[in-house]
A and B are shown apart, each in its own frame.
Chain A
Amino acid sequence: MSEGEMAIIKPEMMKSYIWLETADGSIQQVEQEVAMYCPMICQEVLQKGVGSSKNYAISLPQRVNPAMLSLIFDYCRFHHVPGRSNKERKIYDEKFIRMDTKRLCELTSAADSLQLKPLVDLTSRALARIIEGKTPEEIREIFHLPDDLTEEEKLEPLKNTMDDPRIRLLNRLYAKKRKELKEREKLKSVEVEEHVDERSVDDLLSFINGRDHKVVKTSKSKKKNKKRKEQKNGTSMGICETSEKDLKHNLHSKSRNAENVDKTASSLGDVSNLLSMEDDIFTPKTEFEDGYIDDEIDPALKEMLDREVEDFARRLNSSWVLSIGQERQPVHFSINGNGATRRLTGPAAGHK
């Protein structure tokens, strides 16, 4: 029979067929309703009008070989029938999927190129099941994966995300944000420290005026230890020596200033320098207390010292806002025996 005659006879037959050509050149024909279950084939037939005869066979993607094609059509032949129950389909699928890993991969590839999503889902699930119970070595072996990551990459799997420039930028932005947040936290804790210092000075003075030295010493040392611990932890919670309101108010205003600092900081390095400086500022203060107690200073001096402390705190904040970005020397705050204060400041301090 010539092909022309075949073409004439076909419409009279109950079944119509679609012609398909795989990459290796071999041509198959499949019942139309079965083939049309594959979106890719469906598209070719409807949009380009091909597949109706041997001469106009649909060229299938390279990833589809004749063996896989036949498997896929078995699948389609079962599933395109609308009357089947879900249970039936499930049972069929479970049986269908039983094949060796190599064929499973081939089938997944072929189904994917034909855009047959339900089959891709089915095979993917099966492959996932294979992966699930296995160690990495086993998985590599089953799937012939090259073990091409360095030991370092395996331990720190995300180092190489730097390859992508977007990822790099994202990383940098993120690191910056993280630093900012950290600094803000540090600031809060440092500021709280400072406030505690002021308070404990008051307390200490009241002790001096009305209580035993010994009592003073132990309570002071307790407070010192507590402060030291808090400095280490860097947390701003749990400090209950001051009244809550005062603390919050202070923190609020200071954190606002701190935010300004962050915003105007040209480089984060400067800010962190300032912070470490803050720590230095406040450790000498504990020594200051020591000296203070031992010297038994009178109330008038106490007031002056209190004012100094507050003043200093205020100025520190405002100076940050004004002079951020400039080089700053560490500022030391110390007191000599007779109570006069003396400051060693750097060139750009802007104090007094």
Chain B
Amino acid sequence: MDRINGLPDEVLVKILTFLPTKKAVSTSILSKRWEFLWMWLPRLDYFIYITKLGTKPVIREFIEKTLPLHRAPVLECLRIGLSPTFEPKDFIRWIDIAVSRHVRELEISYVTKYGNLFPSSFFTCKSLVVLKLRLLVLRDVPSMASLPSLKTLLLQKVYFVNEELLQELLSICPVLEDLSVECAEDEDMDEFTISVPSLQRLSLSIPYDWFLEGFEIDTPSLTYLKLHDWNEWDHYSLIKNMPKLREAYVIVKPFLLNSVINSITSVKRLTICSEDVYCDGFVFNQLEHLKLCGCQEESSNLLGQFLKDSPKLRVLDISVEGFHGDNCDGMVCWNQPSLVPECLLSSLQIFNWSQYSGRPQERDIAVYILKNARHLKKATILADTDEHGVSNLQMIKELTLSP
């Protein structure tokens, strides 16, 4: 058979799975054979459709018409992202259909603070493995709810009608492994809890202007933590023991720093951006790879502290995190340690510095490390020549000239 129409239906549908949904749908006008082939697609991606105000939401009618008639017995993935020009009740129908087709991945983006998007069948969906929700509102979690297969949950700027709802939602996911919560900016919660015994990865982002009292994290199986808490109100953070934690990415305000540091001393890899230094008394016994954001004046002291407290440090990265943009002063006050840190003497092998500015203090730091790291195998210093107008060559000369 040398014609494409000679191929069996399954193969034609397979070809359609490699096309974006929109294109696959358009094949329905090719010929009779192709008219309904797209309706066997296991994955439907209506993401994202922004309907201009005043125009007819064609996509809504399309989904309305075709989703109930979709032929695939199992809908593996349904992604819908629509601009908020229609009523939330549409979603109730669509999610209901998806649940009845044993959906595994569900992704919904829809801006609304009113109305309920979720049918009751959603809260007892046995097949759901991945759930991603953006910008919508969660009104309640029914009492008999359970999402027994849910492993990955993303809540991006989701508005919780009350503070307990977040934990209520989490408590119906017994096998949840990966949680990512980006809190909605203008929907304050005073306090919230994240308590998930099965959780392995957690990413939490808290807006800077919430009137936040504090939060609690209880995730004993956690191996990866990303905490981006730049909230300006003095709040507490109760982070319970995480003995399995291996990697952390921490951006916190000074008043939280010590309590957070306390919880992450067992990590192997750490990326940190902080305005202040943490206090004495912590040891990072297993820290091998440290990435430090050199954005603040105090960063140099933070560096010194880390060097002192991390006897096994193998890789040191100094950089400036992208979100800072151009407003970084860079490290200015370098107090040379009285005792050469253990890691420099015995373990540091790789040293990277991007956005090096060539300023005297930074040069001092670089020189100090280069001089004292006995086992250093590789050092890469990338200069930010545009910013500071010092030529590359000159900086290298300076470094090599120092004793």
A contact set with B: CB distance below 8 Å:
63, 101-103, 105-106, 108-109, 112, 120-121, 124-125, 127-129, 131-132, 136, 139-140, 143-149, 153-154, 157-158, 160-161, 167, 170-171, 174, 181
Contacts and interface: CB of A to CB of B under 8 A. Distances in A.
Contacts of A148: 31-32
B403 interface: no
Contacts of B359: none
A141 to B, nearest CB: 11
Contacts of B15: 124, 127-128, 131
A124 B11 contact: yes
Interface in B1-58: 1-8, 11, 14-20, 23, 26-36
A153 to B, nearest CB: 7
A112 B69 contact: no
Contacts of B8: 112
A158 B65 contact: yes
A105 B8 CA distance: 11
Nearest to B114: A237
Given A125-B18, A132-B20, 13 more contacts: A108-B11, A109-B11, A120-B14, A124-B11, A128-B15, A132-B23, A136-B30, A140-B30, A143-B3, A145-B4, A153-B35, A161-B36, A171-B68
Interface of B: 1-8, 11, 14-20, 23, 26-36, 65-66, 68-69, 89
Contact of A128 (B2, B19, B69, B89): B19
Contacts of B35: 149, 153, 157, 160
Given A170-B69, A171-B69, A174-B68, A143 B19 contact: no
A205 B3 CA distance: 80
Contacts of A149: 29-32, 35
A145 B2 contact: no
Contacts of B20: 132
A109 B86 CA distance: 45
A297 B170 CA distance: 61
Contact of B2 (A102, A125, A139, A171): A102
A129 B3 CA distance: 17
Contact of A144 (B3, B16, B27): B3
Nearest to B28: A157
Interface of A is mostly: helix
Nearest to A109: B1
A184 B4 CA distance: 48
20 contacts: A102-B2, A105-B4, A106-B2, A112-B7, A132-B20, A136-B27, A139-B27, A144-B4, A145-B4, A145-B30, A145-B31, A145-B34, A146-B32, A148-B31, A148-B32, A157-B28, A157-B29, A158-B65, A167-B69, A171-B69
A51 to B, nearest CB: 24
B1 A136 contact: no
B37 to A, nearest CB: 11
A102 B2 CA distance: 5
A63 B7 CA distance: 10
A157 B27 CA distance: 10
B183 to A, nearest CB: 27
A145 B11 contact: no
Nearest to A102: B2
Contacts of A139: 27, 30
A174 B70 CA distance: 13
Contacts of B3: 105, 143-144
Nearest to B31: A145
Nearest to A181: B89
B307 to A, nearest CB: 39
Contacts of A157: 28-29, 35
B14 A124 contact: yes
Contacts of B66: 158
B256 to A, nearest CB: 41
A51 B36 CA distance: 41
Given A161-B69, A171-B69, A112 B34 contact: no
Contacts of A121: 14
A143 B5 contact: yes
Nearest to A62: B1
A248 to B, nearest CB: 14
Nearest to B14: A124
A143 B4 contact: yes
Nearest to B65: A158
Given A106-B1, A109-B7, A145-B30, A132 B19 contact: yes
A261 B7 CA distance: 52
Nearest to A154: B29
Contacts of A174: 68
B215 to A, nearest CB: 33
B1 A105 contact: yes
A158 B31 contact: no
Given A149-B29, A157-B29, A120 B16 contact: no
Contacts of B23: 131-132
A129 B27 CA distance: 14
B28 A105 contact: no
Contacts of A109: 1-2, 6-7, 11
A154 B25 CA distance: 12
B31 A140 contact: yes
B122 to A, nearest CB: 17
Rank and list the top 3 A-B pairs by shortest CB-CB distance, nearest first.
Answer: A128-B18, A143-B4, A145-B31
Contacts of A153: 29, 35
Contacts of A112: 7-8, 11
A128 B5 contact: no
Contacts of B29: 136, 149, 153-154, 157
B263 to A, nearest CB: 38
B69 A158 contact: yes
A108 B31 contact: no
